[in-house]
Amino acid sequence: MQKNDNIYPAGLYSFQDECLKLLTGVLNVSKAATYLVDSQRKPICYKTWQLQPAMHRQYMDTFYKLDPLHPTQFVEQADISVVKMNDLVNTQERYDHPYYRDFVSPWGVQDIVELFLRVDNQLIAGFALFTSKQQPEMRMEDIRKANQLHQFMQFSLEQSLAAPKHSQFQVFCDQYQLTPKERMVVELVSQGLPNKSIASGLDCSLATVKTHLQHIFTKTGVNSKTEIASLLYNLH
């Protein structure tokens, strides 16, 4: 577990931002979301675009369990990278199933396309693109574009992970032997986020974040988040 994780998914904060901008800028979607997949295969670090906070909360609280596009469904299928919901689930099912009846449909969503990014066959990030009932149905052409974008994002991801900035982050984390979750905390700290945001980013409690921070502080020998950010960018 540690082995697979000491590179991913930490260090991808701005990568997510840029990808989301790209997708929503090029494709005709009404809402979008992105997340990273942690070592326990749990989606964390959600970032959304024009997606109602209440809808996201509903998903996180309840409906993620029923999601046919949930990343856990695709961790093993390394060949699947772009999935269209309405292709995966037939029309009848979409009428019967509570996921569509009680969640997808009420929020005015017509279809969802999910993009997965992998490194070494391991799923590490995902993107959900929503079209609304007011929009025209998604066509082959749109899916082709999505595949095109996916391909470039996959390329860009590998570049990002090889960049000096990223390796600097790795050097720091390796130097102090931080655990995967601790690395994620450091990543979010380095973005200047308050603990509350870090907690919601990692989908855990404030208490857990504080515990992680305490461990990071002891390992690195500092005593504030600002100092962490400073250390990170002033490696000796």
Q: Does 233 bind a second copy (CB under 8 A)?
A: yes
User: Could you give phi then psi for residue 6, rounded to 5 degrees?
Assistant: -75, 0
Among 148, 158, 192, 196, binds a second copy (CB under 8 A): 192
Helix (H, G, I), strand (E, B) or coil at 59: helix
In this structure, what is the dihedral angle of CA atoms 222, 228, 232, 236, given to the nearest 10 degrees?
-20
Q: Please give the Cα distance from 102 to 48 (Å, whole number).
A: 21
Residue 34 CB neighbours (<10 A): 24
Among 32, 225, 231, 232, binds DNA (CB under 7 A): 225
Q: Does 187 bind DNA (CB under 7 A)?
A: no
Residue 149 contacts by C-beta under 8 Å, 6 or more apart in sequence? Answer: 22, 23, 26, 27, 115
Q: Does 22 bind a second copy (CB under 8 A)?
A: no
164-175 vs 140-162: helix axis angle to the nearest 10?
A: 60
Q: Please give the Cα distance from 121 to 170 (Å, whole number).
A: 20
CB nearer to a second copy: pick between 179 and 195: 195
Among 191, 205, 214, 218, binds a second copy (CB under 8 A): 191
CB nearer to DNA: pick between 55 and 202: 202
Scanning 19-27, 130-138, 166-174, 221-229 for contacts with DNA by CB under 7 A, the matching segment is: 221-229
Q: How many CA atoms lie within 13 A of 111 on its CB side?
A: 20
The entry of DNA, a second copy, none near residue 217 (CB within 5 to 8 angstroms by kind) is: DNA
The entry of DNA, a second copy, none near residue 229 (CB within 5 to 8 angstroms by kind) is: a second copy
Site for DNA in 35-94 (CB under 7 A): 39
Q: Does 9 bind DNA (CB under 7 A)?
A: no
Among 190, 201, 204, 213, binds a second copy (CB under 8 A): 190
- The token pair at 113 is 């396309």
Q: Does 210 bind DNA (CB under 7 A)?
A: yes
For residue 150, give the nearest of 7, 3, 27 by alpha carbon: 27
- Which residues are at the interface with a second copy (CB under 8 A)? 14, 189-194, 222, 224-234
- Which residues are at the interface with DNA (CB under 7 A)? 1-2, 39, 177, 179-182, 194-196, 202, 204-208, 210-214, 217, 223-226
